Structure formats: structure tokens, C-alpha cells
Amino acid sequence: MVNKLSKKDLLTLDEYTKDEISLILSVSENIRTKQKNGEMFVPLLGKALGMIFRKSSTRTRVSFEIGMFQLGGAALYLSPNDMQLGRGETVADTARVLSRYLDGIMIRTYDHAEVEELAANATIPVINGLTDFTHPCQILADILTIKDKKKVLKGITVAYVGDANNVCNSWMFGAPKADLNLRVASPKGYEPDPAVFARAKKSAADNGTELVFTNDPRAAVENADVIYTDVWVSMGQEAESEKRKKEFDGFQINSELVRLAKKDAIIMHCLPAHRGEEISAEVIDGPQSVVFDEAENRLHVQKGVMALLMGNK
């Protein structure tokens, strides 16, 4: 077991080892226990996080900002429209300047390459708060939620039903390293990125877990322990909205599909949800749904990530 992270940044879970993921989870659980016990824990006293958002956010923004506050530091919301970044200042120069003021940067943007460029030019940690490619903080919180609910990770099967998007990519990178089996079901034309799938397949083989893809949501969900979905139209895909809604027909998580899973299966969604599209109201608001515990775990996991990356090493 490692006691620190070898990376400066958190860009994708692909770059993290199994031990590092376990470390983040255990540090996050400790921080959560302290908070629940009303114990102050301020390893980031006097430190500051800049948060660059090119896309909307509820959970990521609030959990990072409040997480930073609870760890003793401050967080600054930075909109590219208000920064010189929006007027042509380069990402590299922005990274160099922000490194002189801040102790960490969280960024949510479209192009993953922008996050890589920011990280390459920043001397401080850069944390990916979602790109079109991945959403690592989400999947760390999801793994913690499964651990909370199922008590074990090894042998648990997650069925991801829906768009093989950023959240799905992070699931493919994260599941094998968390000892989780993963089945992905997406419609034709929305299958996982072959390169990500190939890497994840190798990771699954190395870690002794299963990873399968199918176009049949029923096959994915059969006997699963966890059913997971995400929106059919991600941020930036609004123009494809009508087409996607048609093409994802049959991929809704509803009672009929849930019945195929284990009786004690839990229902997860990274949120925001669109009831009546990727998930029925009955299921997301029903007794098997854990979506709000899952959302809460974003706070705890990101505090773990920030304490590890931005705390004194």
C-alpha cells in the first residue's frame, strides 16, 4: 500500500495505479469520518484552489469550493469569459501565472488536450473536473459509494447502460483498478472509444476483472449489482439532442430493466438526471437509488484528492 500519490495532477484514472486509487479512497473515508464527527481537519490551511469552468456545474463547483473551505483553504471560481484566457491569452501562460498565486487548479472544459496543456505548464497540481474525454473525480466518488453500499468491491458487477461518453471512459479506466467487473451497453454508433476499450481490456486482464461490451442493455443488466447511467446528451452535444433521444430508445433504466438485476442492486447516476429519458422517475426516486449519497461522496473524495495532491508531501 502506498502512502502518497506519485503524480502531480489528476487528469485521468488511466495514469493512476490500483494502490493509488485505494489510497484516495481510504484518505477520503478518513476525512469523511472526521467531518461526520465534527472534527476540524485543515491540511490546506492558507492554500488556494482556482476553479476554471468552461461548462455548467452544480456538484463539481460546490463540492470543490466547499471541500477546499473545509480543508482550511480558499477556492476561486474562474470563468474563462472573465479571464484573459477568453481573449486569447494562451493556456500555457495562464498556467504559468496561476502557478504563482495558487496551490492547485481544477478545470472543467471540452477538449482534454487543454487540461493536459494546463498541467504541463503549471508547477502546481491540476485536477480534471470533467472533459469530453473523462470525469475521474466522479468515478472515484462512485467507487466509494459502491464500497459504502456493498461493503466489498471484488466480485461486484457494474452495468453501465447508455452513452459511452466521458463518464463511461472513466468507468473503463477505473473499474478494473477497483476490482469491479464492468459491462457497458450502448446503442449502435455510440460504442466505447476503441482505444480506451482496448486499454481497459488489458487493465481488466491484469487485475483479474471482467470487462464486456454489448449493444443489449438487458444482457448487461442481468444479475448485476449496480446499474449506472448518464445523460444521453452531454454538455456540448445539444445540437444532436433530438437524434440522440431517438437512437437511445430502449436504453432507459426503468423498472422492467431493473428487474433483471440482482434484487439488492443499487441504481446510480452521476447527475444531472433527465427523468423520462435515460432513467424513469420511478427508478431514480425509488428505494434502490443511491444517487444522492453518490453526489455527497463527490465532496469527500475530492477532499481526499486535494489533501493528497496539494497537502505537504
* Minimum CB–partner distance for residue 43 and ligand NVA (Å): 27
* DSSP code at position 14: G
Q: Return the residues of window 43-72 that contact ligand CP according to CB under 6 A.
A: 57-60
Shortest distance (Å) from residue 271 CB to ligand NVA = 7
DSSP H or E stretch at residue 227: strand 226-229
Q: Which does 58 bind (CB under 5 to 8 A by kind): ligand CP, ligand NVA, none?
A: ligand CP
Question: How far, in Å, CA of 137 to CA of 142, rounded?
Answer: 9
Give first-to-last CA distance, the chain, whole Å.
16
Per-residue DSSP letters for 137-173?
Answer: HHHHHHHHHHHHHHS--TT-EEEEES--SHHHHHHHH
Crossing angle, helix 166-174 and helix 136-150, to 10 degrees? 60
**In whole angstroms, what is the distance from residue 254 CA to residue 206 CA?**
34
Please say if 93 is a catalytic residue. no
Please confirm, yes or no, whether 138 is among the known catalytic residues: yes
> Rounded to the nearest whole angstrom, what is the least distance from the CB of residue 302 to ligand CP in the complex?
11
Is residue 231 a contact point for ligand NVA (CB under 6 A)? yes
> Facing residues of 275 across strands?
279
CB 177 within 8 A of CB 203: yes
d(CA 112, CA 90): 15
Residue 28: which H helix or E strand, with range? helix 18-36
Task: Considering the candidates 138, 163, 183, 302, report the single residue annotated as catalytic.
Answer: 138
Q: 95-134: which residues touch ligand NVA (CB under 6 A)?
A: 130
Is 166 a binder of ligand NVA (CB under 6 A)?
yes
Among 130, 179, 186, which residue's Cα sits nearest to residue 158?
Answer: 179
Is 298 an active-site residue? yes
Q: How near is the Cβ of 130 to ligand NVA at its closest, in Å?
A: 6
- With CB under 6 A as the contact rule, which of the stretches 161-169, 179-187, 194-202, 216-224 interacts with ligand NVA? 161-169
**Closer CB to ligand NVA, residue 175 or residue 231?**
231
Fill in the per-residue mask, 249 to 278: x = in contact with ligand CP (CB under 6 A), - = not in contact.
---------------------xxx------
Residues that bind ligand NVA (CB under 6 A): 130, 165-167, 230-231, 234-235, 270
Residues annotated as catalytic are: 108, 135, 138, 230, 270, 298
Q: What does the binding site for ligand CP look like in residue numbers (CB under 6 A)? A: 57-60, 130, 138, 270-272
